[in-house]
Amino acid sequence: MIGSGREERQLAQNRAGLIGGGGLQGLKGRQLVLRGRESEHGRRCRVVPQALLQWNRRPELVGEIPRVVVITSGKGGVGKTTTTANLGMCLARLNFKVVAIDADVGLRNLDLLLGLENRVNYTAMEVLNGECRLDQALIRDKRWTNFELLCINKPRYKMPLGFGGKALTWLVDALKKRPEGQPHFILIDCPAGIDAGFITAITPAKEAILVTTPDITSLRDADRVTGLLECDGIKDIKMVVNRVRSDMIKGEDMMSVLDVQEMLGLPLLGVVPEDSEVIKSTNRGYPLVLKNPPTLAGLALEQMAWRLVEKDSMKAILIEEAPQKRSLFPFMGGKN
C-alpha cells in the first residue's frame, strides 16, 4: 500500500488524465505535449513521455540490498535535494527502509526540506570521532518511521580534515551492519560541483540519479558528471528531467525531453513538471509527495520511486499528429 490518501490521489490522477484505459490496472505517464517535430513523412509530431505503472500492487524490489544511490547533478539549483527528500519519502511510504545521507558539507539543506532541522543533535562527524553512536546521529521521521536522515556535519562548517570517500564508505558499511537490520535504500544527496565533495559522495554508490533541467548550462554539466560517474565505475545511471514546462516547449523556447535524452544518452527515470507547490512545500519543511490532494509534480515523483524500486525507466517517443483540415469559413466552426 502507498499510504493514506489513496482515493484522493486516484481522483487527482483521473482529473489530470493520468489513468489509462485499464483503470487501476495501468497508469500511463501524463502525456505532456512537448516540442513539435517533423517526422520522416513530413507530418507534425509531438514528443510524449510514456510509462506504465500498476498501483494495485506493491513494487518488487530488484537488486541486492541495500541499494546505495547517489543523487547528483553537477550544476546547483536543479532540484537535487528536493528529489532526494521526496524520493526517500515515497520509498518509505512503499514500506521500504530508507536512510538519506546529506553529504553536502557546510551547505546542508536536506533537513530543512524534511522539517527535521531542529532535531539534528549529532552528525556523522561525531560518530567518526567516537563522540556518539550511529543510532544517535540517525534522525527518524515521525511521519514514516522507516525513513531516517544522517547529516555529515553541522551548518557553516567546512569539509572536515580526513573526511573523504573512505569515511563515507565506512558509514555506509556501518548502516548495513545495524542490529535492527540494514535499509533497503541508502540515498546520498551529493553536493553541487565536481570537487572533493562530489568525489566523496559518489565513492560508496553503486547507482546514480542525475537530475537536470532542460537548459544548455545544466546539460553541459550533466554530461561532464556522467563521464565522471562512469570513470568511477558507476554504470547504472538514470536521468531525471526537472522543471519541465510544456507551454515553453510548445513555443520552442525550451528543449524537449527527447532532446535532453538524445543529448545525454541516459535512461529516463522520470519527468517532473514545473510546480509552484514545490517552493511552498520547501518553505514549510513538508515533502511535496505528502500533500493531499497530490500535485502533478508529486505524482511524477511517486512514479519515479516505483521505477527506481524495479529498475525500470520511461521513454520519450514521437507520435505523429494528423494534419488539421483548414476551413474557408472558420467562423462557421471549421478548424484553422
**Mean predicted confidence (pLDDT) in 243-265:** 93
For residue range 40-54, list pLDDT tens digits in order. 444 455 555 555 555
Output the pLDDT for position 153: 84
For residue range 279-331, list pLDDT tens digits in order. 999 999 999 999 999 999 999 999 999 999 999 988 655 544 444 444 444 44
pTM over 0.85: no
Output the pLDDT for position 37: 47
Say which CATH superfamily domain 60-314 falls into. Answer: P-loop containing nucleotide triphosphate hydrolases (3.40.50.300)
Checking 312-315 for CB contacts under 8 A at 24+ apart, the result is 312/51, 313/238, 313/267, 313/268, 313/269, 314/29, 314/49, 314/50, 314/51, 314/268, 314/269, 314/270, 314/271, 315/49, 315/50, 315/51, 315/268
Round the average pLDDT of the chain to a whole number and report it: 82
For residue range 86-137, list pLDDT tens digits in order. 999 999 999 999 999 999 887 889 999 999 999 999 999 999 989 999 999 9
CA–CA–CA angle 42, 47, 48 (5° rounding): 140
